[in-house]
């Protein structure tokens, strides 16, 4: 029974994956003056990223790496939130993405400057020039929050699953670490499983959550 289920999931993953490849292969890309800031171009990039994440989920599950697979499912959900943002807001959401990118670059640059003794003189000079350019053009840049993007979009119901995957896989929370606690027959003793065996229901759930993401994209 379990073998049949695995086969069915593998066939479904192959079918959805091939469908995605067919869609992307047949998608003409018209380069406009917006270049890579064109919503349709970004949507194709997001589809490509999601396809890669989706295929990775099933590869990891087959190798018993369910935590890593769930992290990729989380990536799939985040991709769909961004896709929904592009669909509903178009150029306005592209601007938000650019603001988020520049805010992140600025923050990383400032952090790097904080390690000044480790920077070569030429590197520090170029970094300061780039930061000045970013701060001049993007002085009001703000970060994009997955929660805000999800709850303001068409796929807001998916944020609950995204939050669960954050708690039990993506972050080192008490919940995610608890999967390493194993059963022990000795009273008062705790068994730590370095490589915990994936639970059947969690494997099924991981596969189940991955597929809707690709369908929505």
State the Cα–Cα distance between residues 125 and 49, nearest whole angstrom: 34
pLDDT at 47 over 70: yes
List the Cα angle 165/169/171 in 5-degree steps. 100
Per residue in 158-183, pLDDT (tens digit) is 999 999 999 999 999 999 999 998 87
Residue 115's Cβ-side half-sphere holds a number of Cα atoms within 13 Å equal to 8
C-alpha closest to that of 81 among 177, 190, 156, 3: 156
Q: Which long-range contacts (CB under 8 A, 24 or more apart) does 190-198 make?
A: 197/64, 198/61, 198/64, 198/66
119-164 pLDDT, tens digit each: 777 888 898 999 999 999 998 999 999 999 999 988 889 999 999 9
Q: Which two tokens stand for residue 20?
A: 């995605």
Structural tokens at position 68: 């890593």
């Amino acid at each position: 029974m379990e073998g049949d289920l695995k086969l069915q999931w593998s066939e479904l993953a192959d079918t959805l994956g091939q469908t995605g490849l067919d869609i992307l292969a047949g998608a003409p890309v018209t380069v406009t003056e917006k270049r890579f800031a064109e919503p349709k171009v970004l949507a194709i990039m997001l589809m490509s990223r999601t396809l890669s994440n989706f295929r990775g989920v099933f590869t990891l599950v087959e190798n018993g790496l369910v935590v890593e697979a769930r992290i990729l499912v989380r990536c799939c959900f985040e991709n769909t939130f961004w896709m929904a943002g592009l669909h509903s807001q178009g150029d306005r959401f592209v601007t938000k993405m650019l603001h988020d990118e520049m805010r992140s670059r600025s923050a990383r640059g400032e952090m790097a400057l904080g390690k000044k003794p480790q920077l070569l003189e030429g590197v520090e000079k170029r970094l300061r020039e780039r930061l000045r350019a970013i701060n001049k053009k993007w002085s009001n840049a703000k970060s994009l929050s997955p929660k805000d993007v999800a709850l303001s979009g068409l796929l807001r119901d998916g944020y609950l699953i995204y939050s669960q995957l954050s708690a039990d896989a993506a972050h080192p929370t008490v919940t995610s670490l608890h999967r390493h606690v194993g059963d022990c027959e000795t009273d008062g003793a705790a068994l730590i499983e370095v490589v915990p065996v994936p639970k059947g229901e969690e494997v099924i759930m991981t596969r189940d959550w991955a597929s809707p993401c690709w369908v929505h994209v």
